[in-house]
Copies of this chain bind each other. A is one copy, B any other.
Amino acid sequence: MDNNFENLCLNTIRFLAVDAIDKAGSGHPGAPMGMAPMAYALWQRFLKHNPANPNWADRDRFILSAGHASMLLYALLYLNGYDLSLDELKNFRQWDSRTPGHPEHGLTPGVDATTGPLGQGFANGVGMAIAERHLAARFNRPEFPIVDHHTYVLCSDGDLMEGITSEAASLAGTLKLGKLIYLYDSNNITIEGSTKLTFNEDVAQRFRAYNWQVVGPIDGMSIDAVDQAIREAQGDTQHPSLIICNTTIGYGSPNKAGTAGAHGEPLGKTETQLSKQHLNWPYDEPFAVPDDVLRHFRASVEKGRKHENDWQNLFENYARTYPDEALQFKEVLSGSLPHGWDSELNNLFDDTVKPMATREASGVILNALAAKVPALMGGSADLAPSNKTLIKGSDGFAPPYYAGRNLHFGIREHAMGAIAHGMALHGGVIPYTATFLMFYDYMRASVRLASLTKDRVVFIFTHDSIGVGEDGPTHQPIEQLTGLRSVPGLVTIRPADATETIEAWKLAIGKNDGPTALVLTRQAGPILNRNEFAPADGVRRGAYTLWQASDKPQLILLASGSEVHIALEAARKLKESSVAARVVSMPSWELFEAQSSEYKSSVLPPDVKARISIEAGLTFGWSRYTGDAGANIGINHFGASAPSNVLYEQFGINATKVVQAARMLLNIC
Partner among B204, B382, B414 whose Cβ is within 8 Å of the Cβ of A158: B382
Q: Which of A114, A382, A640, A643 has most B Cβ within 10 Å?
A: A382
Of the stretches A6-14, A139-147, A472-480, A533-541, the one at the interface is A472-480
Asked whether A452 and B473 contact (CB < 8 A) given A208-B205, A445-B441, the answer is yes
Residues of B within 8 A of A641 (CB): 93-95, 97, 100-102, 104
The 8 A CB mask of A620-647 against B (1 = contact, 0 = none) is 1101100111000000111011110011
Residue of B nearest to A625 (CB): B623
Among the 9-residue stretches A192-200, A337-345, A357-365, the one with 4 or more Cβ atoms under 8 Å from chain B is A192-200
Q: Which residues of B contact A462 (CB under 8 A)?
A: none
- Which of chain B's residues have a CB closer than 8 A to the CB of A482? 482, 486, 620
- Cα(A446)–Cα(B158), bound, Å: 20
Q: Nearest residue in B to A451 (C-beta to C-beta)?
A: B638
Q: Does A254 contact B (CB under 8 A)?
A: no
- Segment of A78-86, A229-237, A405-413 in the binding face: A405-413
Contact B211 A470 (CB under 8 A): no
Residue of B nearest to A195 (CB): B410
A-B contact list, 20 entries, CB within 8 Å: A100-B641, A104-B472, A119-B163, A158-B382, A162-B163, A162-B411, A163-B165, A163-B414, A163-B415, A191-B382, A191-B385, A192-B383, A202-B209, A442-B445, A444-B483, A452-B638, A479-B488, A486-B620, A488-B636, A488-B637
Closest to A647 in B: B95
- A side interface size, CB within 8 A: 112
Cβ–Cβ contact A638 & B488, under 8 A:
yes
Of chain B, the residue at the smallest CB distance from A473 is B452
Confirm or deny: A117 has a beta carbon within 8 angstroms of a beta carbon on chain B.
Answer: yes
Interface residues of A (CB under 8 A from B): 24-27, 67, 93-97, 100-102, 104, 114-119, 157-158, 161-167, 170-171, 173-174, 190-193, 196-206, 208-211, 260, 264, 380, 382-386, 396, 398, 408-412, 414-415, 438-439, 441-442, 444-445, 448-449, 452, 469-475, 478-479, 482-483, 485-489, 618, 620-621, 623-624, 627-629, 636-638, 640-643, 646-647, 650
Q: Assess whether A409 is in contact with B198, with CB atoms less than 8 Å apart.
A: yes
> Is B637 in contact with A489, judged by CB distance below 8 angstroms?
yes
Query: Given the complex, which residues of B lie within 8 Å of A469, measured CB to CB?
Result: 26
Q: Tell me which residues across on chain B come within 8 A of A628, comparing CB atoms.
A: 627-629
Interface pair B164/A475, CB less than 8 Å apart: no
Residues of B within 8 A of A380 (CB): 192
CA distance A442 to B197 in the complex (A): 21
Identical chains in the assembly: 2
Contact between A438 and B646, CB atoms less than 8 A apart: no
In the complex, the 7 A-B pairs of residues with the closest C-beta atoms, listed nearest first: A163-B163, A100-B641, A166-B166, A198-B410, A116-B474, A206-B209, A205-B209
Whether B191 contacts A174 by the Cβ 8 Å rule is no
Residues of B within 8 A of A383 (CB): 191-192
Complex Cα distance A130/B487, Å?
35
Q: Report whether B163 and A640 are in contact in the complex, using a CB–CB cutoff of 8 Å.
A: no
Give Cα A627–Cα B206 distance, bound, in whole angstroms: 55
**Cross-interface CB contact of A488 among B165, B478, B627, cutoff 8 Å:** B478
- Distance in angstroms between the alpha carbons of A200 and B444 in the assembled complex: 26
Given contacts A117-B438, A202-B211, A442-B444, 10 further A-B contacts (CB under 8 A): A104-B641, A170-B199, A174-B198, A190-B411, A191-B382, A441-B444, A444-B444, A483-B486, A486-B620, A621-B623
A102 touching B472 in the complex, CB below 8 Å, given contacts A382-B192, A640-B95: yes
For A205, what are the chain B residues with a Cβ–Cβ distance below 8 Å? 205-206, 208-209
Q: Could you tell me the distance in whole angstroms from the C-beta of A444 to the nearest C-beta in chain B?
A: 4
CB distance from A270 to the nearest CB of B (A): 21
Decide yes or no: A474 and B452 within 8 Å by CB, A171-B198, A210-B201, A441-B445 being known contacts.
yes
- Pick the contact of A650: B95, B382, B452 (CB < 8 A): B95
CB of A26 to closest CB in B, whole Å: 5
Complex: chain B residue closest to A167, CB-CB: B163
Asked if residues B104 and A470 are in contact (CB atoms below 8 Å), the reply is no
Chain B minimum-CB-distance residue to A199? B410
Whether A384 touches B192, Cβ cut-off 8 Å, given contacts A410-B198, A637-B488, is yes
A438 partner residues in chain B, CB cutoff 8 A = 117
Query: Is the pair B197, A408 in contact by a Cβ cutoff of 8 Å?
Result: yes
